[in-house]
Structure 1
Amino acid sequence: MGKHNFWFKQLILVFLWAVIGLGTFASPAFALTDEQKFLSEVWRIVDRAYVDDSFNHQNWWLVRERLLKKPLENREQTYEAIQQMLASLDDPFTRLLKPDQYRNLQTSTSGELTGVGLQIALDGEKGKLTVIAPIAGSPADKAGIQPADTILKIDGIPTEGLSLDEAADRMRGAIGSQVTLTVERAGKHPTDIQVVRDRIALNPVIADLRTEPMTGSQEPKKIGYIRLSQFNANATAEVAHAIDRLERQGAEAYILDLRSNPGGLLQSGIEIARFWLEQGPIVYTVNRQGVLGSFEALGRALTNDPLVVLVNQGTASASEILAGALKDNGRAIILGEKTFGKGLIQSLFDLSDGSGLAVTVARYETPNHMDINKSGITPDVVVPLDDIRSDQVGTRDDRQYTTAVELLTTNSMVAAGAP
Structure 2
Amino acid sequence: MRVFHCMTSPSSSSLSPPPTTSHRLQNHINSLPQKPPLIRSLPAAALSFNLIFLSPLSPLPPPSIASDFTSSPAQSECREQDQRREDENRFENAPELVSNEEIVKEAWEIVNDSFLGTDRSRWSPQSWLQKKEDVLSTSLQTRSKAHDVIRRMLSSLGDPYTRFLSPAEFSKMARYDVSGIGVNLREIPDDNGEVKLKVLGLILDGPAYTAGVRQGDELLSVNGVNVKGKSTFEALSMLQGPSETLVNIMVKHGNCGPVQSVEVQRQLVAKTPVFYRLEEMDKGNTKVGYVRLKEFNALARKDLVTAMKRLQGMGASFFVLDLRDNLGGLVQEGVEIAKLFLNEGETVIYTAGREPQNVKSIIAETGPLFTAPLVVLVNKNTASASEIVATALHDNCRAVLVGERTYGKGLIQSVFELHDGSGVVVTVGKYVTPNHLDINGNGVDPDYKKLPAWNEAVERLSKCQKQQG
The normalised TM-score by structure 1 is 0.60
What is the rounded CA distance, in whole Å, between the counterparts of 1:341 and 1:109 in structure 2?
A: 26
What is the rounded CA distance, in whole Å, between the counterparts of 1:226 and 1:312 in structure 2?
A: 16
Q: Any gaps of 5 or more consecutive residues in structure 1?
A: 1-31, 113-199, 384-402
Note closer, same or farther for the CA distance 1:373–1:109 as it changes in structure 2 (3 Å cut). farther
Kindly indicate whether the alpha-carbon contact (under 8 Å) linking 1:111 and 1:201 is maintained by their aligned counterparts in 2: no
Q: Letter of the 1:212 partner, please give it.
A: M
1:412 aligned residue: 456
Q: Which moved more, 1:98-107 or 1:307-316?
A: 98-107
Note closer, same or farther for the CA distance 1:276–1:52 as it changes in structure 2 (3 Å cut). same
Q: 2:353 aligns with which of 283, 287, 295?
A: 287
What is the rounded CA distance, in whole Å, between the counterparts of 2:280 and 2:285 in structure 1?
A: 6
2:448 aligned residue: 381
Q: Deviations over 1:274-312 (max 9, x none)?
A: 111123101001112698411011233221001000000
* SS of residue in 1 equivalent to 2:406: coil
Q: 1:99 aligns with which of 151, 160, 167?
A: 167
Larger Rg: 1
Note closer, same or farther for the CA distance 1:232–1:33 as it changes in structure 2 (3 Å cut). closer
Q: Which moved more, 1:298-307 or 1:77-86?
A: 298-307
Kindly indicate whether the alpha-carbon contact (under 8 Å) linking 1:94 and 1:358 is maintained by their aligned counterparts in 2: yes
Q: 1:325 aligns with which of 374, 385, 392?
A: 392
1:61 aligned residue: 129
Q: Deviations over 1:95-151 (max 9, x none)?
A: 111222223334457499xxxxxxxxxxxxxxxxxxxxxxxxxxxxxxxxxxxxxxx
Q: Letter of the 1:336 partner, please give it.
A: G
* SS of residue in 1 equivalent to 2:135: helix
Q: Letter of the 1:407 partner, please give it.
A: A
1:209 aligned residue: 278
* SS of residue in 1 equivalent to 2:340: helix
Kindly indicate whether the alpha-carbon contact (under 8 Å) linking 2:114 and 2:355 is maintained by their aligned counterparts in 1: no
**Larger RCO: 1 or 2 (CA < 8 Å, sep 6+):** 2
Q: Deviations over 1:254-282 (max 9, x none)?
A: 10000011112211110010111123101
What is the rounded CA distance, in whole Å, between the counterparts of 1:52 and 1:354 in structure 2?
A: 25
Deviation at 1:202, TM superposition (A): 4.3
* SS of residue in 2 equivalent to 1:412: helix
Kindly indicate whether the alpha-carbon contact (under 8 Å) linking 1:331 and 1:416 is maintained by their aligned counterparts in 2: no
Q: 1:345 aligns with which of 407, 412, 432?
A: 412
Q: 2:372 aligns with which of 305, 317, 325?
A: 305
Q: Deviations over 1:307-346 (max 9, x none)?
A: 0000000001111111111111111000000011111111
* SS of residue in 1 equivalent to 2:389: helix
Q: Deviations over 1:59-88 (max 9, x none)?
A: 211111211122222222111100100011
Task: Report how many residues are paired.
Answer: 274
What is the rounded CA distance, in whole Å, between the counterparts of 2:390 and 2:318 in structure 1?
A: 17
Q: Letter of the 1:363 partner, please give it.
A: K
Q: Letter of the 1:328 partner, please give it.
A: D
Q: Which moved more, 1:272-281 or 1:240-249?
A: 240-249
Q: Identity, % of aligned pairs?
A: 41
Note if 1:366 corresponds to 2:433. Answer: yes
1:335 aligned residue: 402
Kindly indicate whether the alpha-carbon contact (under 8 Å) linking 1:111 and 1:203 is maintained by their aligned counterparts in 2: no
Note closer, same or farther for the CA distance 1:376–1:413 as it changes in structure 2 (3 Å cut). closer
* SS of residue in 1 equivalent to 2:108: helix
Note closer, same or farther for the CA distance 1:276–1:245 as it changes in structure 2 (3 Å cut). same
Q: Deviations over 1:25-47 (max 9, x none)?
A: xxxxxxx9701101111111111
The normalised TM-score by structure 2 is 0.54
Q: Letter of the 2:282 partner, please give it.
A: P
2:147 aligned residue: 79
What is the rounded CA distance, in whole Å, between the counterparts of 2:460 and 2:422 in structure 1?
A: 45
Q: Which moved more, 1:65-74 or 1:34-43?
A: 65-74
Kindly indicate whether the alpha-carbon contact (under 8 Å) linking 2:178 and 2:270 is maintained by their aligned counterparts in 1: no
What is the rounded CA distance, in whole Å, between the counterparts of 2:414 and 2:456 in structure 1?
A: 42
Note if 1:274 corresponds to 2:318. Answer: no
Q: Letter of the 1:203 partner, please give it.
A: T
Note if 1:88 corresponds to 2:134. Answer: no
Matches for 1:158-197 after TM superposition, within 5 Å? none
* SS of residue in 2 equivalent to 1:346: strand
Kindly indicate whether the alpha-carbon contact (under 8 Å) linking 1:111 and 1:202 is maintained by their aligned counterparts in 2: no
Note closer, same or farther for the CA distance 1:60–1:260 as it changes in structure 2 (3 Å cut). same
Q: 1:51 aligns with which of 116, 138, 150?
A: 116
What is the rounded CA distance, in whole Å, between the counterparts of 1:234 and 1:250 in structure 2?
A: 24
What is the rounded CA distance, in whole Å, between the counterparts of 1:82 and 1:273 in structure 2?
A: 37
Q: Letter of the 1:238 partner, please give it.
A: D
* SS of residue in 1 equivalent to 2:453: helix
Q: Any gaps of 5 or more consecutive residues in structure 2?
A: 1-96, 181-268, 464-469
Note if 1:241 corresponds to 2:328. Answer: no
Kindly indicate whether the alpha-carbon contact (under 8 Å) linking 1:226 and 1:257 is maintained by their aligned counterparts in 2: yes
Deviation at 1:51, TM superposition (A): 1.4
What is the rounded CA distance, in whole Å, between the counterparts of 2:98 and 2:369 in structure 1?
A: 56
Kindly indicate whether the alpha-carbon contact (under 8 Å) linking 1:109 and 1:265 is maintained by their aligned counterparts in 2: no
Kindly indicate whether the alpha-carbon contact (under 8 Å) linking 2:270 and 2:299 is maintained by their aligned counterparts in 1: no
Kindly indicate whether the alpha-carbon contact (under 8 Å) linking 2:98 and 2:419 is maintained by their aligned counterparts in 1: no
Kindly indicate whether the alpha-carbon contact (under 8 Å) linking 1:307 and 1:416 is maintained by their aligned counterparts in 2: no
Q: Deviations over 1:201-250 (max 9, x none)?
A: 74211112222226xxxx52121111111112222222122222222222
Q: Letter of the 2:130 partner, please give it.
A: L
